[in-house]
Structure 1
């Protein structure tokens, strides 16, 4: 069996014409001699009847509250509807197809409702269906606990479903179909010269995703990387080859920087502290217990600097004040990140970044780096100019 996993996002399923294109893509893959395994998201986006955010809005009459188990059961319905519909459309065209919930497909998770982790995939039912000539159509974004409770995998979880099934079934590759033609060097709404990348490494696309580029769920990439399964990000609506995500083959030309990602709506927190170790440890313990995620962490003697999401400022200040800490907070900031495995060990990259931003009179408030990223914190009013300047500096 030459298995190919095809995942279709909500925009690919939003209209009757779009669903026709989805069915044609599945049939074409079948006719080319592959065994397609299809993963679907909920239909459309907020406002569409069965979209996840629309289902969540049903909880408005509860004040937005529901126990985690019941909330997951509610929002898993959108993908189930998609699976049943696409399987029915394939059957209407004369192809054997069978819809599966995540649990029926053998996706076993922990019980962390709302953001469950996949523990294992028992793929026997899917393999039996494929051997019988069926096209399995699986509801993405969901699984089931060992006790039989429905769980969801967090936003973008259908990508994770597709990658996990690709790994379990030994797929030749996994296609992620969406409404864009591939992964771009930067946000095209900001940078006019942004273009589609033909290839990108697992590490680079993971960094792009974690640093704000809404291309593919990083968990999906990590699963595919473990089994070295190629991923392709493609458009449902055209025949562009899209972007291939894989390890770095010898035929990819060397490049210093691959792309620019950004995360807006951040705030910087600066805390002056004494040399008392207990006091310093208490700061991070307090934030952790409050469930407040921090980023861009710089620790100096007598000074702690980090960023948080802007909507967490009020709560962060309240929690710190409880332990006698009065932080200095700067809002309306954006983290701009240069991504590229080619930067590793190459001197002068930071110097070029600083010079490019200085030419635009953009102040850098904070930096951090890894083997394949350099991030700069800037004021949001300067973010678009910063992204464009860096895109031009590295000739992307």
Structure 2
């Protein structure tokens, strides 16, 4: 039996590496917090792929991200106190500058002893109301582009920010947004709509697809029509969506039929939290074009937010179910047939880095097929 199975596999290309065992490349800028969550003299805990960080804003307004452990007794620095330009550990009051170096140990005299080296500091910058860190090679930070948001600077769009934790590998999130064939999942919110793939392109580090949406039964949720400018501008025509994974981020733009300016655009990043990368933190912005009468958008805002929350909740339910199946089976048994998603998987696979097997709750080689149980809480 084994011999016949081997004979069948002869001449076939080897199975590609299990995408759910591919980690995200750390040599990019990743949002770990919203700027408003780190006011002056405040420190918060953050994480990137198992690396715990203490993110703090000094009295001068500068933001820094340090390894979340005191060099003394390993107590988390995120439990500490910001004093002026330093972060002081809550235990013995060791003080750290934004570069990770120890500036003061209250009971240590410099004449007799030198302080330890301190802790790792991550390059940190802000853009679009988000705090970004560079968890990879710090020498690459200066030459790696930081995401920019010209629509926010122009003042033509209002922004809806969101931050959610989802218990799944980041690749499931990329697949969910790019594959619009799953709209049946949202039938209770959107009614009967038909997504038609107009075409797609792919290349090193990116996949971009264009869809046209037509309605067979009308939208049920008022926020959906308002978001696409139907209720504000009185328009009722097909929507054209452009969705792009430009590694490691993802964007979506809706341009009303016959127009050139977007009705809304989405920017999102999926930041792995744990070392096994079975949980990710979603940081994103929905930028909505302001109508001629600003008051109309203010009135529509609660409906739009309710709509986006309902859609996201349904998507989260689906991708977390996918992750649970992977955890139970110990490998990816998906039978994907959509060429667009096969292209996306190749982009994510070739752009990422292997996850250390020791970090995986399942362990072992990819495709082992051994069940490991559910590894993340629902």
TM exceeding 0.5: no
Larger relative contact order (CA 8 Å, sep ≥ 6): 2
TM-score by length of 2: 0.24
Larger strand percent = 2
Taking structure 1 as the reference length, the TM-score comes to 0.23
Task: Name the one with the larger helix percent.
Answer: 1
